[in-house]
Structure 1
Amino acid sequence: MLIQIPEVLSPEALDRCRAVLTGADWADGRITAGTQSARVKQNLQLPELCEASLAIRQIVLDALNRNALFFSAALPKRIFPPLFNRYEGVYNAFGNHIDNAVRTCAATGARIRTDLSATLFLSNPDDYDGGELVIEDTYGEHAVKLPAGDMVLYPGSSLHRVEPVTRGARLASFFWIESMVRETERRRLLFEMDMAILQLRETQGDSPPAISLTGCYHNLLRMWADVQ
């Protein structure tokens, strides 16, 4: 399930992020790649614990904590500290790969299961050519290139790639989420139910059917959620 989450970052937050990224010291993106993905990864990345990463990371995490749609879609238990990459010049693409199932945080050593992958776009689509995030699922390929500040969530098990950037620079934040609900289909069901409840409450208020469905949602979440 691919879910677009619009306006995760405000224009002001985007400006702050870009100001830091402008003067940042970029490194070879293969510093966080697994054995297979290192063969096809050709981009730049901020070191995980550098000053620029730490400054922008908090902006992204604060925005995620305020975003109700993100919470509904991901049901996050743990979020891997957001990372930042750049595609430009000869460092312009990332071939087909699947993300590692478990990531280890450099700062704490904590391990996070990558149930969901996320890409938060920081560059305006008109500022670069190419750079589409292409995600494959049972329905084929989906090319994603979103406005700056928007984010896409997709299963961490997905085969995906970033097409070559042929003009300009593509800046983005990427990270992974360990969900309280591990199974993709259960998360999908809960998300669709939550969205239906919101629509029902908008049209009918807190009617008996809306209250009943809300109870069903929370009882399913109570059955399936792992919060330890």
Structure 2
Amino acid sequence: MLIPIKNVLNHNEIQQAQQWLEAGRWQDGKATAGGIAAQVKNNLQLDDQCQQAKQLQQLIVARLNQCPQFIAAALPAKLYPPKFNCYQNGGHYGAHVDGSIMTLPDQSQLRTDVSCTLFLTEPGDYAGGELCIEGQYGLQEVKLSAGDLILYPATSLHQVKPVTEGKRVCAFFWAQSLVKNSEQRSHLYDLDNTIQSLTHQLGANHSDIIALSGLYHNLVRQWTTT
């Protein structure tokens, strides 16, 4: 299930992010790819250790923690700190599946259940660069406004098409979910959205809302893996 989330960062935050990105230290993206991925990766990546990367990581994580739609969709148990990439001059990333286990800065392990891309440049600022994701309903191409996020199962085969003009800059990161199964997460997300919609219509104290909320939490309790 592909879930777009609008306005994770607002206009002022995007402007600040772009200033930090311009001042940051960039390196060859192949340095952080392993195995097959390194053979199909052609981009630049912001050095995780530079001050600008750390500032932007803190901003994004703070906004994600305040974003009900992200929390409902990912049900995050752990979050990999955002990384930042830049595609230009034909840069691309061929078809690949993200690694299943990643090491966090504290040396603990994270299982990549959910992949996320947060767009930091406007779609009109570059040509090409679509994020192409193979999903249940075939290939879907994604190219969102700056500040918007796309969330999708980390098991998905995906690629970034060549950027033929301009510059495409994004943050990318992963979440280990409390609910490992992507289909179960999708059901819970749909149920949560239904509960929120009906709450606006009927009020939080309506018996049907209370019953549905109980069902939601009992399913989370049953399906949670940690």
Normalised to the residue count of structure 2, the TM-score between the two structures is 0.97
Q: How does 1:43-192 map to 2 (within 5 A)?
A: 43-90=43-90, 92-105=91-104, 107-192=105-190
Cα separation, 1, equivalents of 2:172 and 2:99: 13
CA distance in 2, matches of 1:160, 1:226: 26
Deviation string for 1:98-134 (max 9, x for gaps)?
A: 00001112x3212110001000000011111110000
Instruction: Identify the range of structure 1 (29-38 vs 173-182) with the bigger mean alpha-carbon deviation.
Output: 29-38
Count of aligned positions: 225
Read off the aligned partner of 1:159 and give its amino acid letter.
L
* Structure 2 equivalent of residue 11 of structure 1: 11
Alpha-carbon distance between aligned partners in 2 of 1:215 and 1:69, rounded to the nearest angstrom: 19
User: Helix, strand or coil: the match of 1:158?
Assistant: coil
Counting only pairs closer than 5 Å after superposition, residues 190-209 of structure 1 correspond to structure 2 as 190-206=188-204, 207-209=206-208
Structure 1 runs of 4+ aligned residues shifted over 2 Å read none
In structure 2, list runs of 5 or more residues that go unmatched: none
Q: Secondary structure at the match of 1:39?
A: helix
Contact 2:24/2:50 (<8 A) preserved: no
TM-score by length of structure 1 reads 0.96
Q: Deviations over 1:169-226 (max 9, x none)?
A: 0010000000000011111111110000011111111211111101110111122224
Matches of 2:50 and 2:31 in 1, distance apart? Answer: 13
Q: Which runs of 5+ in 1 are unaligned?
A: none
CA distance in 1, matches of 2:55, 2:139: 34
Percent of aligned pairs sharing the same letter: 43
- Conservation of the 8 A alpha-carbon contact between 2:102 and 2:112: yes
Distance 2:225 2:40 in 1: 35
